[in-house]
């Protein structure tokens, strides 16, 4: 007996990519879409694909995904972002894994759209736990870069999902600004030390890791620009953490708009 599968997707104004996402998992027994107030065609697309559509005010990335997971009918869940899609040959290995699951969760590989092209096939792929037993897993609780945490063994499936992400540089920079604000708050709770060294050195380290070690230099200018934006994101999160510490220090000056 194969374990039945629930696919879980959180959305907000996701009409551009949701159709491809849901079409790629039409073989699943249950599809859940948790929307946070979309004003575009997201809801209509979800209904057209037979998804169970729920709505909830956005509670944060991690909490919103956990709420969607809790809506699943089945024990085994495939968690996707609304801008991700599985290739046509992904169903077979996933269904085989569900015949007799040897692990509590499985990682999938992910290739990235980089502005105007896919990342080089020779660049290193990220991998994330996306298929899991929800009774032995939960979301990490981070404000950003949230992840599925599994209580039990984790395996890898030979499945590569496509992540469309932001379509242009402006969108990537806007996301870096938003995410760095959230991550600066996480970093503040961790009481980071050596902040000056992190502010100076880490952006360069982040660039070299992204561009050289992960192989995005193979994507030409798209990879170079993506690495620079990634380094800028690393700079912003520590710059914003420094700014928060200065502003909260005793006797700190205040801008008129902050009084």
pLDDT at 124: 97
Give Cβ neighbours of residue 134 (< 8 Å, ≥ 6 apart).
Answer: 69, 70, 72, 75, 76, 77
Nearest to 51 by CA among 76, 68, 66, 75: 68
Structure tokens at 236: 């912003």
Q: What is the pLDDT along the chain (259 residues), one digit of tens a residue?
A: 899 999 999 999 999 999 999 999 999 999 999 999 999 999 999 999 999 999 999 999 999 999 999 999 999 999 999 999 999 999 999 999 999 999 999 999 999 999 999 999 999 999 999 999 999 999 999 999 999 999 999 999 999 999 999 999 999 999 999 999 999 998 888 888 899 999 999 999 999 999 999 999 999 999 999 999 999 999 999 999 999 999 989 988 888 887 7
Tokens 């050596």 belong to: 194
pLDDT at 171: 97
Structure tokens at 156: 């890898």
Which three-class secondary structure state does DSSP give residue 15? helix
pLDDT at 100: 94
DSSP bridge partners of 108: 128
Q: Taking the CA atoms of the chain, what radius of gyration do you get in angstroms?
A: 20
Query: What are the backbone angles phi and psi of residue 51, rounded to the nearest 5°?
Result: -75, 150
Give Cβ neighbours of residue 228 (< 8 Å, ≥ 6 apart).
Answer: 207
**Would you list the DSSP string of 184-249?**
HHHHHHTT---HHHHHHHHHHHHHHIIIIIT-GGGGHHHHHHHHHHHHHHHHHHHHHHHHHHHHHS
CB 159 within 8 A of CB 94: yes
Question: How many of the other CB atoms lie within 10 Å of CB of 66?
Answer: 21
Burial 174-211 (b: 16+ CB within 10 A, else e): eebeebbebbbebbeeeebeeeeebbeebbeebbebbb
pLDDT at 95: 96
């Amino acid at each position: 007996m194969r374990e039945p599968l629930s696919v879980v997707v959180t959305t907000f104004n996701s009409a551009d990519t949701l159709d491809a996402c849901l079409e790629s998992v039409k073989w699943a027994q249950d599809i859940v879409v948790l929307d946070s107030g979309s004003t575009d065609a997201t809801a209509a697309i979800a209904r057209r694909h037979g998804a169970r559509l729920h709505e909830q005010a956005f509670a944060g990335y991690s909490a919103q995904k956990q709420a969607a997971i809790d809506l699943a009918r089945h024990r085994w869940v495939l968690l996707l972002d609304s801008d991700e899609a599985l290739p046509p040959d992904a169903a077979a290995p996933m269904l085989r894994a569900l015949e007799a699951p040897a692990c509590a969760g499985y990682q999938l590989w992910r290739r990235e759209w980089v502005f105007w092209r896919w990342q080089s096939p020779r660049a290193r792929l990220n991998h994330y736990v996306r298929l899991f037993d929800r009774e032995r897993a939960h979301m990490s609780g981070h404000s950003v870069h949230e992840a599925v945490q599994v209580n039990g063994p984790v395996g890898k499936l030979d499945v590569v999902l496509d992540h469309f992400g932001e379509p242009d540089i402006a969108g990537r920079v806007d996301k870096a600004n938003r995410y760095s604000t959230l991550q600066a708050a996480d970093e503040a709770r961790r009481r980071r030390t050596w902040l000056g060294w992190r502010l100076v050195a880490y952006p360069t380290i982040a660039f070299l890791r992204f561009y050289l070690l992960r192989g995005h230099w193979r994507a030409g200018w798209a990879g170079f620009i993506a690495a620079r934006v990634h380094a800028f994101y690393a700079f912003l999160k520590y710059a914003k953490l420094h700014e928060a510490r200065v502003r909260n220090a005793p006797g700190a000056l205040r801008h008129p708009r902050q009084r």
